[in-house]
């Protein structure tokens, strides 16, 4: 078969054009919130950093104590210990401090707390990346759970997660991935996530995501220096604590980030300063699956590959003929 360089380039250009124009790309529709999506609203402005949520998380998920070695010269940072999520710590309260750190919920010369754990993304990159479906999103309540029996330890989920959440048990002979599963073992018994049940101020509350977003929107309408009855433990709780309102960032983190999440946050300090990533509205899973499906549409990638091989064989054969 006589394939000219120009013919090969035509095939490549044609495939490239299809990819570039998106015609006929398989742009899949963004995923939406499951019908009974459950989640958590965390409000940093009323979090007192007591870490009761962190302790409760350990207790009700049978997680061992955790400690990060700090050199003596960093003892002023002893509060942040352990310093981050790990295979032993599924939920962590971290501290932000700027300048004098005098005023709570202020970006400059202020401080804030931030609670980090799995976001239970609406379109989770970890689920999309896992080759053996060891991570799955419940189609009804949206909880992203992990099946240790299916996991092959490839750690693709760790690389894919834009929030840097899944952790690997490097120190175990049969390691597992560890991450918050929204206390689904408690939810099955009619209970709520431990971190919300034991939060004394209502900074972490559990409920239907639609109710949590409504509550978050209500809080953004509040005027600073007024008082508001903050529900404790669950968004629908009749037990409410009257607390002063501080100034909020005009943003509900997680409502749209990375396709939306079921863990949503409010704060007085910009979220990127609190260590949360700035993400586009389209999820990583959506973008990567669209590219994959487009490449394989009509066998574009294999055809391009085959054309490349044929061209290389043809060129080598021609060079050999010329040399003889
Ligand atoms: S935060 Fe990471 S681990 Fe959790 S659901 Fe989203 S992608 Fe998965
Ligand atoms: S929902 Fe459960 S596992 Fe997740 S952070 Fe809260 S206590 Fe920990
Ligand atoms: S229990 Fe509540 S107030 Fe205490 S650190 Fe956790 S979220 Fe903040």
For domain 38-120+182-279, give the CATH number.
3.30.70.20
**Measured from the CA of 166, which atom of ligand 1 is nearest?**
3
Q: Pocket around ligand 3: residues whose beta carbon is below 6 Å from it?
A: 47-53, 93, 113, 115, 199, 201, 203-204
Q: At what angle do helices 300-323 and 284-296 cross, to 10 degrees?
A: 50
| CA dist., res. 253 & res. 264, Å (int) | 6
Q: Ligand 3: which residue has its CA nearest to atom 8?
A: 47
At residue 68, the pLDDT reads 85
Pocket test for ligand 3, best of 180, 200, 203 (most atoms within 8 A of CB): 203
At residue 11, the pLDDT reads 45
Q: Does 209 contact ligand 2 (Cβ within 6 A)?
A: no
Q: What is the pLDDT of residues 16-67, one digit of tens each?
A: 444 444 444 567 889 999 999 999 999 999 999 999 999 999 999 999 999 8
Two domains, one topology: 38-120+182-279 and 125-168: yes
**pLDDT below 70 — which residues of the chain?**
1-26, 74-78, 290-308, 311-324
| CA dist., res. 49 & res. 30, Å (int) | 35
Of 95, 93, 83, 82, whose CA–CA distance to 54 is shortest? 93
C-beta neighbour count of 282 within 10 angstroms:
15
At residue 1, the pLDDT reads 43
- The pTM of the full predicted model, rounded to 2 decimals, is 0.85
At residue 75, the pLDDT reads 62
CA atoms within 13 A on the CB side of 18: 21
Of 234, 235, 241, 197, whose CA–CA distance to 218 is shortest? 235
Pocket test for ligand 2, best of 193, 212, 262 (most atoms within 8 A of CB): 193
At residue 23, the pLDDT reads 46
Ligand that comes closest to the CA of residue 265: 3
At residue 286, the pLDDT reads 84
Please check whether residue 96 is in contact with residue 269, taking contact to mean a CB–CB distance below 8 angstroms: yes
| CA dist., res. 55 & res. 72, Å (int) | 25
At residue 294, the pLDDT reads 61
Right CATH for 125-168 from 3.40.190.10, 3.40.50.720, 3.30.70.20, 3.40.1050.10: 3.30.70.20
Please check whether residue 263 is in contact with residue 115, taking contact to mean a CB–CB distance below 8 angstroms: no
Q: 50 C-alpha to center of ligand 3: Å?
A: 5
Structure tokens belonging to residue 65: 């104590």
* Domain positions in the chain: 5-29+286-319, 38-120+182-279, 125-168
Residues in Cβ contact with 324 at an 8 Å cutoff, skipping those fewer than 6 apart? none
């Amino acid at each position: 078969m006589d394939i000219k360089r120009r013919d090969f380039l035509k095939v490549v250009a044609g495939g490239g054009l299809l990819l570039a124009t998106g015609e006929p790309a398989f742009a899949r529709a963004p995923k939406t919130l499951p019908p009974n999506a459950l989640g958590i609203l965390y409000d940093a402005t009323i979090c007192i950093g007591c870490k009761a949520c962190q302790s409760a998380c350990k207790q009700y998920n049978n997680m061992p104590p955790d400690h990060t070695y700090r050199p003596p010269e960093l003892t002023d940072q002893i509060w942040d210990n352990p310093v981050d999520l790990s295979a032993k710590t599924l939920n962590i309260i971290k501290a932000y401090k700027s300048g004098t750190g005098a005023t709570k919920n202020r970006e400059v010369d202020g401080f804030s707390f931030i609670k980090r754990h799995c976001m239970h993304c609406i379109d989770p990159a970890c689920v999309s990346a896992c080759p053996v479906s060891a991570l799955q999103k419940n189609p009804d309540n949206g909880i992203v759970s992990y099946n240790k029996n299916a996991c092959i330890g490839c750690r693709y989920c760790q690389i894919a997660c834009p929030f840097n959440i899944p952790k690997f048990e490097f120190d175990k002979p049969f390691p597992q991935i560890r991450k918050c599963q929204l206390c689904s073992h408690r939810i099955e018994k009619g209970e709520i996530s431990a971190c919300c049940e034991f939060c004394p101020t209502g900074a972490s509350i559990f409920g239907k995501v639609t109710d949590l977003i409504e509550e978050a929107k209500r809080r953004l309408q509040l005027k600073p220096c007024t008082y508001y009855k903050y529900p404790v433990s669950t968004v629908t709780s009749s037990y409410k604590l009257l607390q002063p309102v501080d100034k909020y960032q005009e943003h509900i983190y997680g409502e749209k980030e990375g396709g939306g999440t079921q863990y949503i946050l409010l704060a007085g300090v910009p979220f990127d300063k609190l260590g949360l990533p700035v993400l586009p509205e389209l999820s990583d899973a959506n973008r990567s699956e669209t590219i994959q499906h487009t490449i394989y549409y009509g066998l574009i990638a294999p055809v391009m590959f085959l054309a490349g091989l044929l061209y290389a064989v043809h060129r080598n054969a021609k060079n050999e003929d010329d040399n003889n």
